[in-house]
Structure 1
Amino acid sequence: MNPSRAAFTGRRRRLMAATTAAAALTLGLAAYGSGAAPRPDAASSPTTAPAGSAVAVAASFPAAPAGKALAERGGPASSRTDAVATAEKAVAGGRLTGVRLERDHGVAVWKAEVITAEPRMHHLTVDATTGAVREHRADRMPERVRPILNIPLDRLAAATVDREDAVRGALVRTGGGFVSELSLQGARTAPVWRLKVDEGPVRHAVDVDATTAKVTRYVRGTVGSPDAGRTGDRDRLTKEEVRRLSGDFGRDFHAWS
């Protein structure tokens, strides 16, 4: 090859390599700039939960590492997923409708509610340290009012978004932490996964549509704050609905469970 032509070819190759590298750097910076805005820092003066209260349980566990996370970080030795698996295994054919972290006589526990097609609601207490079932009892609801439990069954039937998919969506929104409470709420045909995600002293309240997987509500507060995870009364049955569905038996079916 002609020496001058070889030199020209070499310069051309170096120019093309430099152009490619510059383009890659530009794309990388653009991708970085288009990322989600960083979450605000935790409140500098978090509300202190009363000693021994249920909310104090979550605050005693370490916060999640900085950055987005799709897996739960922190929480008790026996995780929520372990407790849920234990509860559903203990109830043949049962499906979880709710689970929350509490303190029972000074012991951190998971309180789970599992429903069967009968329908019958089972209440289980799972030790948050050992993973052992501490208590398991079925509801004592009068048979004539048992159809009221078709409400949570209808929610489960209408939910097309799996609870763990809802958890992952909530963790993407919060950027970390562990789920201290999860339940299926909302209307019979429009259910919502309602979650509380704790990250040190910070509590994130997240609602995930159980049919579209979209986050429909997000509130950031502190563990123990009256506003952290407040749900309002929109999911409670009215007295008239309870009377109609229960044959005028009692005011709240939870009293029979």
Structure 2
Amino acid sequence: MSVSDPADVIVALRAAGCVFAEDEAALLLAAAAGDAARLDALVAQRVAGTPLEYLLGWVEFRGVRVGVRPGVFVPRQRTAFLVEQAVAGVAPGTAQACVVDLCCGCGALGLTAATELTARGCAVELVAADIDPVAVACARENLAPLSAPVFGGDLFDALPGDLRGRIDVLLANTPYVPSERVADMPPEAREHEPLVALDGGADGLDVFRRVAEGAASWLAPGGTVLVETSTGQVDTACAVLAERGLVPRVEHSEEYYATVVLGIRSR
């Protein structure tokens, strides 16, 4: 059945379980740009479970349209709270800051943090890195307008050595879903996004521990590492940061339904 009629698109999406069927229909109609065959194909893929962001080729994150592609982790809207905390942690009037987006995925966190800090008059040196080649390629496209390099490799091993000891803001959107819970995630995530971006190990904090281990030597005095976690992981995460010589802090947001754990290198 053709779904060239907007009402038909909404019905098809709603029947497939799309909660925001009206909003998604409007986006797919715009993406099809009047091409009925393309619209049919887009709706069919969405009904089959393909993430909307892959079909559009972008996701809106903190008011910025960020490019995404199949096989790349789609940034969650709750993670905007992590960026909010990162930007708020840079004192007003700061002339320059070194920002690193580790486990960068499509680069959304680094892109928006750097954009917002620059708008405040802070000169930002932005560097990003990810272990997934597909993510690296996507992030390079998104960060090209900022002339920010994106490196491929495993956490800190990917970073240039001259960053050691001078990172002011370390964004690390590490995976934090316990391995046994990955199967419970929505099909859109577990069937389309890379497992490396979802599976955080036995308790969900394996990658976080590795970030915490290296953070102290890579942060500048007074620098901060920020990681998203679940509320049930907060105590363990704070203990891990403290063991690595960082001062832990926890921020919750009811608006975003998000929890961020911060580790500050004392001066």
For Structure 1 versus Structure 2, the TM-score category normalised by the shorter chain is under 0.3
| Structure with bigger RCO (C-alpha 8 Å, 6+ apart) | 1
Q: TM-score, normalized by length of structure 1?
A: 0.28
Q: Could you say which structure has the higher helix fraction? A: 2
Q: Could you say which structure has the higher strand fraction? A: 1
